[in-house]
Structure 1
Amino acid sequence: MERQGNCVDGKLDDSNYSSPMPLIGFYITGATLVCLLFILLDVFVGFRNRKRWLPCRFFSLNSLTLTLLSIAVKLPLDLTSSMPNVEDQLSKLTGTTFLCMSMGFFMPSLGTTRESECYTNMAAMSILAIAVAVNICIQMHTGVIILFRAQHIMILCCIVVLLTALWCCAFNIHNQKEVLADRVKDHFRKGQKSMLHRVKMSYLCSYNSNTQFVLCRHQITTLVAALCLFSSIVLLKVAFQSLVSRKLILCDGAQSVYKGSMKAIVVCQIITVLVGSSAIIFRLLSLFGHQSAKLTIQREQVTDAQSVISRNPILRGSIFSSLTNFLKGLMLIFVSLLVLVVEIPFAFFEGCLTAMGSDCNGCCKNNPSKKNDEAVEEFKDLINERELWLHEWPLRKGAQDMKRWIEKNKTLNHLVKLLSKTPPSNHQGTPVYHLKAHYNLARPGYEISSLSIVLLVRIATISIPSLSGSLSSSMDEIFEVIHFVDRKISSSSFQNKKKAMLAEALWENRNFCGVLLPKIIRIHGKDAFQALSELDKAISIIGHLKEVLRTDSVQKELAMITDFLLVRGYQSTGELYGYIEQIYIDMLNEYLIQLPNAIFKEIIEGHAEEYEEKVKFALKVLCKMEQLEDLVHWSFPTGTTISHLMSEQDHQFSFPVMTDGSSVVFESSTGLTRNTFQSVEAFTDNSILTATRDE
């Protein structure tokens, strides 16, 4: 035997080509197990949040799941590896059924991404599905697939119908969600009650218009569930026939190149298919009595698209027009199939339930006891709002979800006590006024930021630890709000974004004092530092902080604050702490008064895909602020009738005057009239002119 390089006797030596195949088999098993984990996480989160329609959060249509899916279905794509055993032949069917189940499972997630990203993911899914279908057909023709050919054809038909259904849902939901989001924003802008009431209304509407909720409630879910159930039954029948009864024998003694990993692949994929299909069936059962057929393309958009094609001579006679007609015909066939397979049986079954007096899980009919739910009664007018498409059952579900979300959020006990003891000092000559003047000497145009507040609290914590516990506790409660206002209200320059990121990182670092204090003690010497009085220790720590902190961006900010604190003379640590506390309260006040503007901007400017999460966060923030309503002079957005944060009663007071270089706005007691005056030079330092409040 003569060897030359990779050749033996003039032939290519391929004896080691299949050696890594068992490892690849376990690689496929690992990808399947990750998909199973994601499905279980979605089921767990759905039950935990009491959303039994099981929205897709982890196993949704995105690049990660598509990558995992392409690995898990490698066996149906393998054209050349021999499959001599029954479990080898079964692995082809389990991979194909796994793809079918996956398409049905993450159908509700089609509207969670931007339109272009959704269509890109759908295109990738289509390529994968078509590749599997073509490769299965090739393997049946070449003899790689010998057994279960009829079952393969059944599963491939299910995949084709599912793929068509997914495309129809993607087109429809993206035409709807922008319209629904814009309508809810318009109602939020033009409402008449407090900001909390408007955010609650937006929460209920966004819950109802959630793209996953809309898709799950549509009757197309019945078809998807039926196809997944059918494919699972086919797989179970074949698995029982081949693995349990052992009636099928292919080649005794032959072994696949995947060897022992083949059984692991088959078992894992069967379990994953059963779990995923069970979740899809449960999703259908939980919403079966509340399904609707309102997933339709908007007439205005269809008319506009047709008019564009008809007016353009290039498009009218091009391949684009032919493709459009083909897609219309395909959708017409699918809709007809949907009517025959789903709509008519569904209508018949629903009619039987109505005749028998069933109330569809106890929620479809008008139940007098449930009508008295306070949350539903408060927003009952939304049911009659035709533009919002809101019905009683989703309104009740949204109200229950909103109530649970409100109860989750903590109150601001420490901050309320701090503000009650030390109210903001909103006039010229306050510590913050002098601090800004001190800043502007070094850096003209400098603004207070969330980083400034965090550094001030850290300075107090490390220099006066015995007195600064209330500052740290209150900052823990309010930091999320301050950071949110800073991001929304401050300019979008790189420097401001960097400060916000540094503030978040610095506050999350709980070992700030433990790292810097030993360095300061080493500068003095341990014995010399211990001999200092409490006030001298605090002054020394403040003076040396900028020397031991090496982060340049934070160091500059820290240096200005510490230099300002050391300019003033103090008689005791209590006086030093009181001065720091007043600066802290005044800094917080400058951000808190802008919270209504930040919330308004967050909700109005949010994209349709992010709208529900933004409204949810706004409600969380507002619930935290409930105890502060009478302690802060809120500044409400111009151009709206919003005059109160929480309560609805009239307050006879003038809102604070914010001079940001544009205009000064005074609010009347009802918020329905307002006068706008040009700002004057006396307040160009962004100070706050407060008026008295008479209730």
Structure 2
Amino acid sequence: MGGHGNCVDGKLDDSGYSSPVPSIGLYITGATLVCLVFILVDVFASFRSRKRWLPCRFFSLNSITLTLLSIVVKLPLDLTSPMPRAQDQLSKLTGTTLICICMGIFFPSLGTYRESECFNNMAALTIFVVTIVVNTCIQMHTGLIFSFQAEHITVLCCMMILLVALWYFASEIHSQNEVSHDGIKAFMMKGSGSMRHRLRVSYLRSYDSNPQFMLCRRPLSILVATLCVISAVVLMKVTFHYLVSTSRRSELCEGVSVYKWSMISIVVSQIITVAVGGLVITFRLFSMIGHRFDDYGIRQEGVEDAEAIIANNPIFQRTFFFCLRFYSRNIIEIFVAWISLLPSLPFACLEGCVGSAPAIRQGEEECDFWTWNKGQNDMRRWIKKIDTSNQLIKLLSRTPPLHQDDSLFCQLKAFYDSRKPGYQMSSLSVVLLVRIAIISLQSSLSASLSNSLNEVFEVLQFVDRKLSASSLENKKKFILAEALWKRDNFNYLRLKIVKMFGNNDTFEKQSQLNQSIAIIKGLKEVSHSDYVQYELAMMTDFLLLRAYESVQELYSCIEQLFVDMLNDFLIQLPNVIYREIIESNAEDCEETVKFALKVLYKVEPLEALVRWSFPVGTTITHLTFSELPNV
């Protein structure tokens, strides 16, 4: 019979099947190193942001990490390839141990997903873990895994308990997140103090109710860390006895696995990853001890009160209370965490009985001392980096916004409405007005507008983004405004318009006012996107409706329009901040409040210069001050 493919004389030629296997080993090594890099990046980002509970961002429970881990555990899932040497047998154990370590590292990320997404990820993880356990048991039964069987059983038990613990976390963390977030919403509406005070307290509460932080401080997290450390210690013990001790290595079989020389790279990379992951989990455990057992009660009435308590507590007194709480409650915490896995006792009841689960904070309930202090330090750090709008203060002090019905701004809105009824001004309108000033006027005149918009552009975009969320047209204008201001300097437009006069000398012989008017007229001929072209046409037509006696009068007109348009956005800032927090998700609450507070600090000096519009139905009456200063 003739050959067909790999079938020669009716027999399958499988001699080349194992030739690419060493390359597969390198592929496994690469996937392991990618996991290691993700872990290290998360650790670096955590230390940079000074979050000692080491939150997961890059190495979290998602489809990407599960795909990587499915490559990493290729060897533990291999049911047929012989593993005769010590490193071959060890590779089975390193793969399963690495899964335990990864489960311990990314378990805080369960709180960052929506409930349905979290359960989907947990279902995928469950299938993945059960597959590993079943395959490993089959290999021990068939004799493929003939060494380290006790260690394999230990790691598999740890893995299954970890899976149960993660399911518990996933099932109850979301309800706590929502209740904590509802407390922040209620405080924003019914609390006391200015907008700034409420945001500061809301940030501390959102910091305290961070989903990853809430999971890390649970007593059951001690069990998760303990199981991971046990798995890592088992692997390190086996590594020492079977790779360092020559006598123990000689007890195994002779031969070489199909993975050949790549086996060493697999084992070494996975051992390093397990060691690093074990250190990360251990650091997370001990960094949270101070929080778990230092439970001073600090009320929300003021950040300043907490600062006074910190200053008035001597180091000796604080150390004494810490040690007392640690040694009196540590054993109870660990005992409860272990017992809570017994099927006969509900998780929630056990943690509730000892009162160690974090209380849901609503209204004016207490926030523990450690979190309050840590949140304040974090808030002070990034507040110091915020630049206030100094140039804008000078501009508004010199040119206050006009509110009369016949003001330039009202005329502009009426002009827009006559051209296109219902047309809404956006941040694109403000950006194009300043660009017109930069191109048509001398830099000595336009610099003030340019610098002012630079200072407040982030605030302008924040307000515009919230207001334009329901309109596709406004969303496009919002994106164009950011692109035109940050990347398109329009410098080429002036040169293009000057060429219309034939040569530069002809243009320069005209007066400054005529030059500016000519440039404004020429801007209408600029080919750009539809929205920019339409906005430019309306803006330039409106500016050319008036007759100007000097270039200074033209600038004054543009300046007043800029101030009025900007004021129209700024007055809505308190409402936008309020809506942003009320409509945010529990998972994003901390970052939402942080950004809102940054925006507020940027415009803090404008308190007395803008007629702010505060949210209806709340008791907020001032932006930053308890009482407005005399102007």
Give TM-score scaled by structure 2 length. 0.85
411, 414, 417: which one pairs with 1:437?
A: 414
Query: Once the two structures are superposed, what CA deviation does each residue of 1:103-156 show, in whole Å capped at 9, x if it has no partner?
Result: 001111211111111111111111111111111112222333232222111111
Summarize the Cα distance change of 1:218–1:491 in structure 2 as closer, same or farther, 3 Å threshold: closer
424, 440, 443: which one pairs with 2:401?
A: 424
Residue 279 (structure 2) aligns with: 278
601, 606, 626: which one pairs with 2:579?
A: 601
AA aligned opposite 1:456: L
**8 Å contact from structure 1 (residues 183, 388) kept in 2:** no
Summarize the Cα distance change of 1:483–1:9 in structure 2 as closer, same or farther, 3 Å threshold: same
Summarize the Cα distance change of 1:493–1:165 in structure 2 as closer, same or farther, 3 Å threshold: same
616, 619, 627: which one pairs with 1:649?
A: 627
Query: Would you say 1:630 and 2:608 are equivalent positions?
Result: yes
What pairs with 1:141-152 in structure 2 (closer than 5 Å)? 141-152=141-152
Residue 668 (structure 1) aligns with: none
- In the TM superposition, residue 266 of structure 1 has moved relative to its aligned partner by 1.6
Query: Once the two structures are superposed, what CA deviation does each residue of 1:270-301 show, in whole Å capped at 9, x if it has no partner?
Result: 1111111111111111111432799xxxxxxx
AA aligned opposite 1:616: K
Look up the SS of the partner of 2:159 in the other structure.
helix
AA aligned opposite 1:583: L
453, 456, 479: which one pairs with 1:478?
A: 456
Query: Would you say 1:333 and 2:333 are equivalent positions?
Result: no
AA aligned opposite 1:51: K
Count of matched residue positions in the alignment of Structure 1 and Structure 2: 581
- In the TM superposition, residue 232 of structure 1 has moved relative to its aligned partner by 0.8
**8 Å contact from structure 2 (residues 85, 256) kept in 1:** yes
Residue 263 (structure 2) aligns with: 262
Summarize the Cα distance change of 1:641–1:342 in structure 2 as closer, same or farther, 3 Å threshold: closer
Residue 406 (structure 1) aligns with: 383
Summarize the Cα distance change of 1:582–1:269 in structure 2 as closer, same or farther, 3 Å threshold: same
Residue 656 (structure 1) aligns with: none
Summarize the Cα distance change of 1:187–1:338 in structure 2 as closer, same or farther, 3 Å threshold: closer
Summarize the Cα distance change of 1:260–1:410 in structure 2 as closer, same or farther, 3 Å threshold: farther
What pairs with 1:321-400 in structure 2 (closer than 5 Å)? 333=342, 388=365, 390-400=367-377
Look up the SS of the partner of 1:76 in the other structure.
coil
**8 Å contact from structure 2 (residues 294, 370) kept in 1:** no
Query: Once the two structures are superposed, what CA deviation does each residue of 1:220-273 show, in whole Å capped at 9, x if it has no partner?
Result: 121111111111111111222232223314444x43333333222222211111
AA aligned opposite 1:437: A
Look up the SS of the partner of 2:288 in the other structure.
helix
- In the TM superposition, residue 570 of structure 1 has moved relative to its aligned partner by 3.1
Summarize the Cα distance change of 1:237–1:443 in structure 2 as closer, same or farther, 3 Å threshold: same
Query: Would you say 1:192 and 2:192 are equivalent positions?
Result: yes
> Take 1:229 and 1:200, find their aligned partners in 2: how far apart are those partners?
38
> Take 2:223 and 2:97, find their aligned partners in 1: how far apart are those partners?
16
**8 Å contact from structure 2 (residues 574, 615) kept in 1:** yes
Summarize the Cα distance change of 1:213–1:5 in structure 2 as closer, same or farther, 3 Å threshold: closer
Residue 157 (structure 1) aligns with: 157
- In the TM superposition, residue 342 of structure 1 has moved relative to its aligned partner by 12
Query: Once the two structures are superposed, what CA deviation does each residue of 1:575-594 show, in whole Å capped at 9, x if it has no partner?
Result: 32222221111110000001
- In the TM superposition, residue 573 of structure 1 has moved relative to its aligned partner by 3.3
- In the TM superposition, residue 71 of structure 1 has moved relative to its aligned partner by 2.1
AA aligned opposite 1:410: D
> Take 1:387 and 1:146, find their aligned partners in 2: how far apart are those partners?
61
Look up the SS of the partner of 1:3 in the other structure.
coil
AA aligned opposite 1:646: T
**8 Å contact from structure 1 (residues 542, 562) kept in 2:** yes
- In the TM superposition, residue 631 of structure 1 has moved relative to its aligned partner by 1.0
Look up the SS of the partner of 1:17 in the other structure.
coil
AA aligned opposite 2:424: E
**8 Å contact from structure 1 (residues 113, 609) kept in 2:** yes
> Take 1:405 and 1:100, find their aligned partners in 2: how far apart are those partners?
36
**8 Å contact from structure 1 (residues 453, 588) kept in 2:** yes
Query: Once the two structures are superposed, what CA deviation does each residue of 1:25-84 show, in whole Å capped at 9, x if it has no partner?
Result: 222222222221221122122222222111222212222222222222222222233333
**8 Å contact from structure 1 (residues 184, 388) kept in 2:** no
AA aligned opposite 1:278: L
Look up the SS of the partner of 2:544 in the other structure.
helix
What pairs with 1:654-673 in structure 2 (closer than 5 Å)? none
**8 Å contact from structure 2 (residues 397, 609) kept in 1:** yes
**8 Å contact from structure 1 (residues 101, 228) kept in 2:** yes
> Take 1:21 and 1:518, find their aligned partners in 2: how far apart are those partners?
64
AA aligned opposite 2:154: M
What pairs with 1:459-474 in structure 2 (closer than 5 Å)? 459-464=436-441, 466=443, 467-474=445-452
Indicate the RMSD between aligned Cα atoms, in angstroms. Answer: 3.0
- In the TM superposition, residue 629 of structure 1 has moved relative to its aligned partner by 0.5
**8 Å contact from structure 2 (residues 187, 362) kept in 1:** no
- In the TM superposition, residue 392 of structure 1 has moved relative to its aligned partner by 2.2
Deviates more, 1:17-26 or 1:150-159: 17-26
> Take 2:136 and 2:624, find their aligned partners in 1: how far apart are those partners?
62
Summarize the Cα distance change of 1:258–1:418 in structure 2 as closer, same or farther, 3 Å threshold: farther
Query: Once the two structures are superposed, what CA deviation does each residue of 1:344-385 show, in whole Å capped at 9, x if it has no partner?
Result: 9x99xx9xxxxxxxxxxxxxxxxxxxxxxxxxxxxxxx9997
Query: Would you say 1:574 and 2:552 are equivalent positions?
Result: yes
> Take 1:645 and 1:168, find their aligned partners in 2: how far apart are those partners?
42
Residue 501 (structure 1) aligns with: 479
Residue 599 (structure 2) aligns with: 621
Query: Once the two structures are superposed, what CA deviation does each residue of 1:621-655 show, in whole Å capped at 9, x if it has no partner?
Result: 1111111111111111111111100111267xxxx
Residue 561 (structure 2) aligns with: 583
> Take 2:433 and 2:226, find their aligned partners in 1: how far apart are those partners?
61
Query: Would you say 1:489 and 2:463 are equivalent positions?
Result: no
Give TM-score scaled by structure 1 length. 0.78
> Take 2:401 and 2:352, find their aligned partners in 1: how far apart are those partners?
64
- In the TM superposition, residue 181 of structure 1 has moved relative to its aligned partner by 0.9
Summarize the Cα distance change of 1:386–1:588 in structure 2 as closer, same or farther, 3 Å threshold: closer
AA aligned opposite 1:150: A
Residue 182 (structure 1) aligns with: 182
Summarize the Cα distance change of 1:491–1:259 in structure 2 as closer, same or farther, 3 Å threshold: closer
Residue 455 (structure 1) aligns with: 432
552, 564, 569: which one pairs with 2:530?
A: 552
Query: Once the two structures are superposed, what CA deviation does each residue of 1:175-230 show, in whole Å capped at 9, x if it has no partner?
Result: 21111111221122101211111111111111111111111111112111111111
> Take 2:76 and 2:463, find their aligned partners in 1: how far apart are those partners?
52
Summarize the Cα distance change of 1:19–1:581 in structure 2 as closer, same or farther, 3 Å threshold: farther
Residue 116 (structure 2) aligns with: 116
Summarize the Cα distance change of 1:335–1:166 in structure 2 as closer, same or farther, 3 Å threshold: farther
Residue 92 (structure 2) aligns with: 92
Summarize the Cα distance change of 1:529–1:208 in structure 2 as closer, same or farther, 3 Å threshold: farther
